[in-house]
Structure 1
Amino acid sequence: MSDAASRLQADYLTCSLCSQPFKQPKTLPCLHNFCKACLSSYLEKEMKDGRTSTFLCPECKEKIYVPDPSKPAKRWATQFPTNFTLSGMIEAIAQEVEAKGRGVAMVKEARERRGMVADTANHSSRKPAADQVKREDSRESESPTSDLLVSGVSPDVQTTLHRLEKLQKELQKENEHLDMNIEAIAQCQAQEKTKIDQSFAKIYMLLEARKAQLFEDLTTNLAQEKARLQQRKQGFSNDLESVISCEDLLKGLESNPVGDEVVYDMLQAIGEQVNEVKARRTSQVPPRSVLFEQTLESARSVLNLVNDLGQISISTLPVDSSSEEEESDGGPKSRESSKESSDSQDKSPIKIRSKPKFLNAISTVQQEGKQQQVYDLTVTANGTVVMTLHGSNQVQAARKAGDESNSGYSVFAKLTLDTEPKCVAAIASFYVAVTGQSCIYVLSVDDKLALHRKIATGKNYQSIASYSEASLIATCQRPACLDFVGLNGYISETVDRDHTSGQILLCQPQFMATSKNGVIYVTDLGKKPRLISINNAGKLRFQCPPEGNQASEGGADAVVNLEAPHGVCVDSQDNVLVVDRAGRKVTLLTSEGVKVKDILTAEDGLTDPCSIAVDYNDRIYVTNEFNEVLVFQIH
């Protein structure tokens, strides 16, 4: 084998698992190649570590998803494509080495035969020395080919030429096959690019059509809203003119006295006019039309869709803010200063100027003279509070009785399940998910509570949260893990330790929440009670309190001290609110785990808080004493 072929085989045609030339090489999505048998052995070993649908590449440690994890683990390696290019190169090198070895052997054999023929001629020769010398001179003048023909090696030479021609044809065929594969890959790449371009073009057309429709609806509805307010303003203007004319009339009586009866009639008429003005003035302004509210909600849904597609927040884009700064200051600002200001705005927590204001308390419906105990709660997009009850199989829903901020809440629906519910999470505008005994319930929430679907899981999940429109995240205490569960009951991935460091993440998980960016927050009551934050790849972001619980720059007030963390939720600005049941408080943290302040304490009426939820208006709902839900408004 030549030096170039040796280097090629050692550097590119050798499996890193067995250090031997590839045998049925399989290509992973990260473009690293391994023998089929070596990859199967590696995957079986990874399965023993607890992974169900993913594994790490042996070469670059990138996370690899198995195309069909429902198949047996020993057949996972067969699902990845075979690299025919590497197989052809290895086969061509092997054939070249084999042909070269056969050629050397045939030459050696021919030389040996030539020597044997020469020795036989010398011993058996009976001719004179002159004839012998003449024969040797003529032999030296002959060509090597004629020499081989005289020696009788001509068939071997013909066989070698035939083999070389056959090897040449095979190599040409392999080259043609490789060219076909390369062309097929190029065509596949072009087709996939075309599909992607068409898909995005379709999405763009749909978004453009939706944008035009929203602009039209907003223009129409805003014009109607403006006309309604202008009509109301005209009514107040007419009332103001009436009041002014009455004042002028009364002032004119001082200079032009009239009889008592006339004065009495005038005062009576003015009094009636004043009463009518007061009645119109104290009457509430008619509410906005339903179409106007629906249009605003549609606009919010489109913005949320764009945010989810790009994993960015439209409110943090620097384009509009920079242009506004240039217009307001009368000149352009440097990009560095605008970037610093935008970064500071993104990292700044919610600004709370005062303590949250207490609004109301929600009580559950009594059963047999006893108050039902609330274990967990969530708030849907339309403001409905859904509660799971401890010690019973009931789920109850409450709603505000009026439009005012201080209106009371009343339970309007309840549903009895076949197992005791634990935690609940809103998964869509009118749906919630509830964990039960070896199952997950999906309930529809409208004018009543109804069972939409029951998902058999085989696990007793504790807490639950929404991850996407088609999947949920649930925590299990035995074994302590976090599962990504589809609405069909299929567990796509299980996370029990950090995929990078191997650190065990959960011991005794309690409650959980997710942010709009896919960040997961779980409270844990293990040997060291804490709040942990995990990204959607299973990597630990932070834990509160941190290791050692060292004070930050904010001093002792900035130290996160959680004695018994329970409920957790995420507000509209991605800040985290966590309930410390033993400390009887609710602590506000940034999305990076930095403490802002204790937003609710025992001074606000918290005696035994447990779970917590927040709606899109940043109203906080906290269970207290398991028999009521306290509602606060953040200012």
Structure 2
Amino acid sequence: MATAKKLTDNHLTCVICTEVFTDPVTLECNHTFCKSCLLKYTNTQPDAIQAKCIPCPSCRQLTKVTNPVSPVEEWVGQLKPSHVIQGLMDDFGPGAEAADVNICIVCKQQGKTTPATSWCSICDDVFCDGCLKMHNMIPTSRDHEVVDASDATKRKSKQRFMCNIHKDKQIELFCKDCRMAICHTCCSINHRKCDDVDTLDSMTPIVREHLSNQNQELKIKMTTSENNIILRKSQIKEINSNAQNIKDDIRKTRQAVVDMILRKEKQLLGKVDRSSGEQLHTIQAEIKFQEIEMQMYQQQYEFTANAVTSNCERDMYAVYESVGEASTDIRDTDNRPAPGRVVFTHDMDKLSKAVEELQLGEVAVVRGVSDRQSTPVLHHNIDCEADGDETRPCLCDVTVLTVDGINVTVVADNNNNSLKTCYTSKPNTHVNQLLLSGWPSHIAKLSESQVAVSLPWSKQIVTVNVTPEPVLLSTIKTSKEYYALAYLSPSQLVAGTYGQSHSVDILDMTGKILKSINTGVIRNPDFIHVTSNNNLIVSEGRVNSLVSVTCEGEAVFTYAPTGDRALTMPWGVTTTSTGDILLVDWASHKVIQLTESGRFVRDVLTQQDGLSCPRGICLDGDGFLYVTCDTYVKVFTFVQSVHNQIT
């Protein structure tokens, strides 16, 4: 019973409804489902219905239907379960336990319910002990092989393989063309045109070996699937943990903003208290003064009243003389200015707009190298050696275009004075080259089909159309030998020359200098990159520094670390979708990742990743990272790091 339950739970359960199969059907990929479950799933897949196929919910493989014009219900209805699934269902599926209680076939015909004890493999019937004796006495059946009726395994192994179409015919042949076990009648009627039919005895070892090999493959796939499930579960755990950390950061940011608002509120409330306190102090002092003055008037009033009411003329004149003109010196307190009033003024529209425009930050899904926890994996190498090369290529710079849906890698080959385009058109890889009047230094991507290339010794900048073969469009004469080159706008380029205080010039498309920019410590730019906000990032190997300035020449940052992180000839520069900077360090065989503000993040690639004297660098739209190394362009992809590694 334990075996039956294990088989039912593990092998006879539909993955859609998670219940034991009800009317199972098997697809060409050998996955089995309940007929009703598969019908419901198929009705939710309009693309598969349009293709006249039944999609597998597990592996997505399509099973073609025999009658495409019929309704979907009939498509599924025409499917049958595999022999293995059907056999397991017969032995261990619902109702199998009841079938174990067999009734003797002879006694059953006589209306009796005598339990059977034996089963005849030839007659395919069960008998009780008494009827078995009679079965064994009949000459035509005395030599039949009989086994215990309760031994389902032995019964199954001894059961004859009968044809489903010709019920009385035993299957003895196998049609290799149709991959089907058949009887002689099927062979003579339905398989006359088939070329390869063999006996079942000859095919059985081959089929058994094939199924054993398939079982080994399935075991490997099961292990892989199990590992993938563990991996995905660990990824879910990491995603949830990362999401919680981000939520905490957002709440901290919100709290910081709230704290700023509370500080501003406290400042305003304090100012109200101070202003109101000053006014109250002034008024209270005035009240005190008035009280003292009123007491003085009260005393003078009583003294004068006593003198008037007395009959002594001497006292009356004495008071009169002492008061004199003072009695008429009445202060005009009514004309004093009224105390000021504290008011609070605010612009609700302006305040609402400020709150509306308030940005706590941005939430985005980062992939590839933009994910700072990702791990680089070498995807492939691009060999840029062409048939017409006179010497070994030396690749200085690289960019990637998408021309008519084809990814085209464009490289500057110094040694062969050529611009090369490399692309794959299955099954071939093509390398085309455009010979130039001098050695090319750097490439500026103008569009998905055009680039500009600096030729310093010729004092030229050429524009090239990529079809994907390189075709020369125009030649721009320049007044200086420009090495570094970058695209600023449809009408402007940024170019760098050597040995001048203002080493970076902004040019128009005729080569005219529009503006010169001082880049601080950098006087001989090796590479220039323009960021998404039009800042310039300039590297120079001679001073081992990276400098970022605005187009107006205002300094953004200078990256010149010391110690273990000191640069040893920085060259190629690019930026990620999130603004991080990727910098090639030629002598240390590294690609370094920095923040947008020039802070160190990590060493993205090192010599252990196969880097050797890297120079140029770029990212394509799919997140692949391209780095030039001598004659090759190494292409890296990035996978998400998983803390819980699968062993």
- Give 1 or 2: higher helix fraction: 1
Look at both structures and tell me which one has the larger radius of gyration over its CA atoms: 2
TM-score class, shorter: 0.3 to 0.5
If the length of structure 1 is used for normalisation, what is the TM-score? 0.47
